[in-house]
């Protein structure tokens, strides 16, 4: 196996892998789309000297994929997802993100009845997650609270962000907008950028709640958590909805996917030889206790990937996506959060004003733990004077 220490090493290894998988309807793409937790299994030797370069190249690879995707790509993936038979999808995650965001907001609003709130949606896409938050506000009848909120949608594609804001406001093609706008004024704006650069466009410590759905598995290193934590107010909360799987944690598991996608046996052997793994090694990957949910989740994910591969046979090659992504186990995400200073334990959050009455800050949306929504605080017990930086926000608004 190659020892991957430099960008040049990555280019060489990616070249080998892409040469082996060329011709498949759903190729791998760059190995730098895999979570950093698992890159050592592919020969990567991560260090302070190479991480920044690896991370920059990883983001570039993801952006290239997003730019390549067309409407037919997304529609084909949606249909394949439906046929894969998952009991939940991103819409279910959005609903749960919306619910917990509003629970947190209502608690913070009780603690300070004049407070204005600033909420940031990272990777807002077409605005469905923010729409789910507004739905939850309507379901709670918390309309006065909505008028105290300002929503900022952050999306790499400026066009997508602009369309999402206009759709929510009712300025889109259908002119409907979200139902809350019929009688209540809700401030919704946008910024085109990533979660790494949005602080340069907003202000440090400004967001009371940052929320996101199905986005952070595109960030293979946890440095984005530093940026998000800086963006939160002293009593701020990060809400993450995402999919958790270890299907890409070892070459032996990827070899299984390639086999089911119909790769030639000779090429499959070349792939296994490249990473020093053999047929049957996937059993060693699962040689641990209490692996049932992980095995089931990975099996379902493999079935889902192969389904997309089969569906991609019906669309032009230039519009086909690549299947490697930065998914990880929830315990790995939780470990990253804690290392970056977030409070993840429900008992430790007992004295935080946003978590009053919230027993479970992490909620399963999928029966086998593949989809979860979690709320994590910047601090367990914010300073007594913490009010979301209201004085600072007022000065910033006045200056603007």
First to last CA, the chain: 56
Same domain, 178 and 124: yes
Same domain, 152 and 201: yes
Determine the angle formed by the axes of helices 265-274 and 251-260, rounding to 10 degrees.
Answer: 170
Provide the pLDDT for residue 199. 60
Cα 307 from Cα 78, distance rounded (Å): 11
Determine the angle formed by the axes of helices 292-312 and 71-84, rounding to 10 degrees.
Answer: 130
Same domain, 266 and 393: no
pTM of the model: 0.92
Cα 180 from Cα 158, distance rounded (Å): 24
Cα 219 from Cα 225, distance rounded (Å): 10
Cα 241 from Cα 216, distance rounded (Å): 9
Under 8 Å between Cβ of 152 and 118: yes
Same domain, 94 and 218: yes
DSSP label at residue 325: -
What tens digit of pLDDT does each residue of 161-188 get?
Answer: 888 888 888 765 555 678 887 778 889 9
Under 8 Å between Cβ of 242 and 357: no
Same domain, 284 and 348: no
Structure confidence at residue 158 as a pLDDT band (50, 70, 90) = confident
Residue 175: inside a domain: yes
DSSP label at residue 150: E
Same domain, 237 and 344: yes
Same domain, 169 and 266: no
Cα 195 from Cα 238, distance rounded (Å): 13
Same domain, 169 and 307: no
Same domain, 107 and 121: yes
Same domain, 178 and 236: yes
Residue 221: inside a domain: yes
Residue 2: inside a domain: no
Split into its structural domains, the chain has a count of: 2
Among the candidates 263, 297, 319, a domain finishes at 319
Same domain, 142 and 278: no
Same domain, 234 and 363: yes
Query: 256: which 2 tokens?
Result: 């299984």
Q: Which of 25-34, 73-82, 139-148 has the lowest mean pLDDT?
A: 73-82
Query: 194: which 2 tokens?
Result: 């990533």
Query: 9: which 2 tokens?
Result: 């090493």
Residue 352: inside a domain: yes
Residue 231, domain CATH:
3.40.50.150
Three-state DSSP state, 284: helix
Q: What is the DSSP string of 103-147?
A: HHHHHHHHH-TT--EEEEEET-TTSHHHHHHHHHHHHHT-HHHHT
Average pLDDT of the chain is 90
Among the candidates 296, 319, 342, a domain finishes at 319
Under 8 Å between Cβ of 57 and 11: no
Helix or strand (DSSP H, E) at 59: helix 51-68
Residue 77: inside a domain: no
What tens digit of pLDDT does each residue of 251-267 get?
Answer: 999 999 999 999 999 99
Domain encompassing residue 179: 90-244+328-399
Average the pLDDT over 68-74 and give the result: 86
Provide the pLDDT for residue 64. 87
Of 357, 245, 222, 237, the C-alpha closest to 299 is 245
Residue 84: inside a domain: no
Under 8 Å between Cβ of 308 and 77: yes
Residue 147: inside a domain: yes
Average the pLDDT over 284-308 and give the result: 90
Query: 348: which 2 tokens?
Result: 């430790």
Q: What is the DSSP string of 179-242?
A: GGGGTS--EEEEEES-TTTHHHHS-TT-EEEEEEES-GGG--STHHHHHHHHHEEEEEEEEEEE
Residue 80: inside a domain: no
Among the candidates 301, 319, 337, a domain finishes at 319
Residue 85 has pLDDT above 90, yes or no: no
């Amino acid at each position: 196996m190659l020892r991957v220490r430099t960008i040049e090493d990555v280019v060489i290894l990616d070249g080998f892998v892409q040469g082996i998988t060329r011709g498949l309807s759903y190729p791998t793409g760059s190995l730098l789309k895999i979570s950093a937790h698992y890159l050592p299994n592919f020969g990567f030797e991560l260090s302070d000297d190479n991480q920044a370069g690896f991370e920059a190249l990883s983001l570039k690879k993801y952006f290239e994929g997003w730019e390549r995707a067309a409407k037919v790509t997304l529609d084909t993936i949606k249909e394949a997802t439906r046929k894969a038979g998952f009991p939940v999808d991103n819409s279910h995650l959005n609903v749960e993100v919306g619910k917990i965001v509003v629970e947190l907001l209502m608690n913070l609003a009780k603690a300070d009845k004049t407070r204005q709130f600033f909420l940031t949606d990272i990777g807002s896409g077409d605005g469905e997650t923010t729409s789910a938050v507004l739905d939850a506000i309507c379901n709670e009848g918390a309309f006065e609270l909505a008028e105290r909120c300002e929503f900022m949608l952050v999306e790499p594609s400026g066009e997508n962000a602009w369309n999402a804001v206009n759709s929510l406001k009712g300025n889109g093609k259908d002119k409907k907008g979200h139902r809350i706008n019929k009688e209540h004024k809700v401030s919704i704006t946008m910024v085109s950028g990533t979660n790494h650069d949005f602080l340069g466009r907003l202000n440090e410590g400004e967001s009371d709640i940052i929320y996101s759905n199905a986005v952070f598995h595109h960030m293979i290193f946890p440095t984005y958590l530093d940026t998000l934590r800086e963006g939160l107010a002293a009593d701020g909360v990060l809400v993450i909805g995402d999919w958790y799987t270890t299907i890409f944690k070892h070459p032996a598991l990827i070899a299984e996917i390639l086999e089911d996608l119909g790769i030639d046996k000779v090429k499959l052997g070349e792939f296994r030889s490249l990473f020093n793994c053999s047929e049957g090694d996937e059993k060693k990957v699962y040689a641990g206790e209490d692996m049932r949910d992980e095995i089931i989740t990975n099996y379902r994910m493999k079935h889902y990937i192969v389904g997309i591969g089969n569906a991609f046979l019906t669309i032009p090659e230039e519009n086909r996506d690549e299947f490697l992504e930065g998914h990880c186990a929830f315990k790995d995400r939780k470990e990253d959060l804690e290392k970056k200073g977030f409070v993840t334990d429900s008992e430790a959050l007992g004295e935080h004003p946003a978590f009053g009455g919230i027993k479970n800050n992490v909620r399963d949306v999928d029966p086998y733990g593949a989809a979860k929504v979690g709320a994590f605080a910047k601090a367990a017990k914010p300073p007594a004077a913490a009010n979301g930086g209201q004085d600072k926000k007022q000065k910033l608004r006045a200056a603007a």
